[in-house]
């Protein structure tokens, strides 16, 4: 925490070792910068104007930075609106992390700006040099530890919530990635939806249902991702990844894609998830079953 020694180039007598043991370096004799006889010395009012101008510039800079940050973010600080219960949890954690980072960043930038303005060079006299300030060292060690510990607990709780699986899901979909599309199998209904180039696969789900996704791959590693659902898992040959999604909002979400580079036509691996009311899902499933699945 403490680093013994003294700043390079400073005599021992110029270093303060904390409150009560301060020592100032004697004023240096720099004859070349002293005003010569007859030179004009700036009046006090002029110095005050310069200080005021510097403070105004700092305020304008801070306001500009805040404007850029605020206008670049929505209420979720850049995340899309979630349509799953798991996504809501991810959004909650993201907000906590974002606000914590913004608070720390504001404090650090504020202290830097304050130091630059408050301790700007006024003369050739070196400012007070301080070592071994125990209260400050304890503060800047313990406060980050507390922040990181709290964020760790928040992350662990969210991970458990997102990874939790219900005993009896409403719908099960076996998702298989292959070069260069996706297969969505509905084992309870007995049909497959298989995508192909130019006709991406579409998964249809009932609104409000908890959906068990059983994810795998037949060839190389792919990754299943759809921003609004906030799930991103690898599809690995020979392995099964299982997770639940509780879909809370209806709509058509067509930005699903593979997010693990899997070959030259990786960008063909798009898919859509359409969330519909339960009755509409039932009739869609009956129709797909009758025609034997795809399309």
Residues that bind Cu ion (CB under 5 A): 222, 258, 262, 266, 269
Residue 263 or 287 with smaller CB distance to Cu ion: 263
Contact predicate 268/129, CB 8 Å: no
DSSP 104: H
Residue 258 or 276 with smaller CB distance to Cu ion: 258
Residue 178 or 229 with smaller CB distance to Cu ion: 178
Structure-token pair, residue 148 = 């990181």
Which positions ≥6 away from 250 have C-beta within 8 Å?
207, 275, 276, 277
In DSSP terms, which residues pair with 194 in a beta bridge?
183
Structure-token pair, residue 155 = 């992350």
C-alpha R_g of the chain: 31
With b meaning 16 or more CB within 10 Å and e meaning fewer, what string describes 79-89?
Answer: bbebbbbbbbb
Min CB(262)–Cu ion separation in Å: 3
Residue 174 or 268 with smaller CB distance to Cu ion: 268
Residue 212 or 257 with smaller CB distance to Cu ion: 257
Instruction: Tell me which residue has tokens 């997102």.
Output: 162
CA distance 119 to 234: 53
Instruction: Tell me which residue has tokens 């009755």.
Output: 279
Residue 183 or 222 with smaller CB distance to Cu ion: 222
Burial of 131 by CB count in 10 Å (0-12 exposed, 13-18 middle, 19+ buried)?
A: middle
Min CB(183)–Cu ion separation in Å: 14
Min CB(235)–Cu ion separation in Å: 9
CA distance 189 to 293: 10
């Amino acid at each position: 925490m403490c680093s013994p020694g003294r700043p390079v180039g400073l005599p021992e007598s110029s270093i303060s070792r904390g409150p009560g043991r301060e020592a100032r370096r004697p004023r240096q004799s720099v004859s070349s910068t002293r005003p010569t006889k007859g030179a004009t010395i700036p009046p006090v009012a002029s110095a005050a104007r310069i200080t005021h101008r510097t403070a105004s510039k700092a305020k304008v800079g801070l306001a500009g930075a805040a404007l850029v940050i605020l206008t670049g973010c929505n209420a979720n600080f850049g995340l899309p609106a979630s349509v799953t219960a798991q996504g809501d949890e991810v959004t909650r954690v993201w907000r906590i992390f974002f606000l914590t980072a913004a608070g720390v960043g504001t404090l650090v930038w504020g202290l830097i700006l304050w130091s630059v303005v408050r301790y700007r060079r006024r003369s050739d006299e070196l400012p007070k040099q301080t070592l071994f300030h125990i209260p400050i060292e304890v503060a800047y060690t313990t406060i980050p530890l507390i922040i990181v510990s709290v964020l760790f607990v928040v992350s662990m709780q969210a991970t458990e919530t997102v990874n939790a699986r219900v005993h009896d899901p409403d719908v099960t979909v076996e998702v298989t990635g292959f070069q260069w599309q996706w297969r969505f199998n509905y084992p309870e209904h007995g049909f497959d939806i298989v995508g192909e180039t130019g006709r991406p696969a579409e998964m249809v789900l009932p609104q409000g249902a908890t959906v068990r996704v059983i994810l795998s791959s037949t060839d190389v590693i792919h990754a299943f991702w759809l921003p609004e659902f906030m799930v991103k898992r690898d599809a690995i040959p020979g392995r099964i990844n299982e997770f639940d999604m509780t879909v809370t909002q209806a709509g058509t979400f067509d930005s699903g894609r593979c997010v693990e580079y899997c070959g030259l036509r990786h960008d063909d691996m798009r898919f859509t998830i359409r969330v519909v009311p339960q009755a509409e899902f039932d009739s869609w499933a009956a129709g797909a079953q009758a025609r034997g699945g795809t399309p």
